[in-house]
Amino acid sequence: MKQEDYLDSLRPETSEKVKEMEVYAKEYNVPIMEPLGIDFLMQLVRMHSPKKILEIGAAIGYSAIRMAEADSDSQIVTVERDSARYEEACKNIGEFQLGQRVKILHGDALELREKIAEDGPYDMLFIDAAKGKYEEFFNLYAPLLTEKGAIISDNVLFKGYVADDEYATKRMAKIAGKIRTFNEWLANHPDYHTTIVPIGDGIAITVKK
């Protein structure tokens, strides 16, 4: 915890609009990336300079907006299934004046591949949606990546329960089990290299072999 507090103390100041989104997410229990996790994701975007990013799981648009901030040349397509969160994401993207760079689709990502493919290929895939569907999202959208494309998966340590779910609730332990299965599948995939970084809620970085 002391280490995380120290790293938090080094984080750059964010805009008031970003802070408002973070406060809103906390108040209404909207799952957005943890502070150190979003900083890490933004750094990956800066390093990789992806022309096109596909995000599975927009929520209220927080990650898409922060990725757009990280690289002013990136175009982002993001997908959200929940109607209320989709509307909130549209509002936030508009307030940040990112409507020309961030395209948000409403619907289940597992059913929108044809529409999503229209804007491909993508240089980065960011998965942050239903935890039990990660492998399906990966298999469906990894083929839409460019040769050097990267796949980023969030929450792969899930509050520490993936490594040790002894004190997890039954529901949390079930989710942790699904993520554990995904992590093992990723680690043993014959076509990809994966590294899991224990920052935020755990971030997996995957590239083609």
In a domain, 19, yes or no: yes
In a domain, 176, yes or no: no
In a domain, 172, yes or no: no
pTM, whole model, 2 decimals? Answer: 0.95
Q: Would you state the pLDDT for residue 168?
A: 85
**Residues flagged as binding site for Mg(2+):** 128, 154-155
Helix (H, G, I), strand (E, B) or coil at 204: strand
In a domain, 162, yes or no: no
pLDDT in tens, the chain (209 residues): 688 889 989 998 999 999 999 999 999 999 999 999 999 999 999 999 999 999 999 999 999 999 999 999 999 999 999 999 999 999 999 999 999 999 999 999 999 999 999 999 999 999 999 999 999 999 999 999 999 999 999 999 999 999 998 888 999 999 999 999 999 999 999 999 999 999 999 999 999 99
In a domain, 167, yes or no: no
Structurally, the chain folds into a number of domains equal to: 1
**Residues flagged as binding site for S-adenosyl-L-methionine:** 33, 63, 80, 108-109, 128
**Contact 55/126 with Cβ under 8 angstroms?**
yes
What's the CATH number where 10 sits?
3.40.50.150
Residue type for 53, please? I
**Residues flagged as binding site:** 33, 63, 80, 108-109, 128, 154-155
Phi and psi at residue 14, in whole multiples of 5°?
Answer: -105, 165
Q: Would you state the pLDDT for residue 110?
A: 97
Range of the domain at 115: 2-157+193-208
**Rounded CA gap, 151 and 183, in Å?**
13
In a domain, 184, yes or no: no
Token output for 205? 């970085």
Across the beta sheet with 52-56, what order do the strands follow? 102-106, 75-80, 52-56, 122-127, 145-154, 203-208, 192-197
